[in-house]
Amino acid sequence: MKWFVRIAQGLLTAVFFMSGLMKVFMSSENIRTLYTETLGYNVGFMRIVGVAESLAAIGLIAGYRWPRLTLLASSVLAIIMSGATVSTLVSAQGAATAGAPFVLLVLALILLFKNRPAANSKH
């Protein structure tokens, strides 16, 4: 199971780093087309989400050395992906379109629960 979690962490790192940078550096026109017209989000909000995704991806990379950063980063990504899943479903884009953010949400939750400290462990 440890290898599965490590591979999932690496995949999430790559996906969110690229996705975050795309949202940060994409033109405002493209953001309006992809996110404002379909989901109703502001351009500035999507840039903030991009920064959060990029920072969380960096946290996942650092989490290989410091596991508590993985806990924080996967929490942020789980929140972002739950919002993306719900937004996609509410905007009537269908369950098929909401599948990708849902899979990323599940992977982030796996990282979150596999890296959390045990309740009775002493740190």
Q: Which residue has better confidence, 118 or 43?
A: 43
| Residue 120 pLDDT greater than 80, yes or no | no
Cα 35 to chain centroid distance, Å, stands at 16
pTM, two decimal places: 0.84
Neighbours of 90 (CB within 10 A): 11
SS3 60: helix
pLDDT digits (tens, 9 = 90+) for 3-60: 888 898 999 999 999 999 999 999 999 999 888 888 888 899 999 999 999 999 999 9
Q: Is residue 119 predicted with pLDDT exceeding 60?
A: no
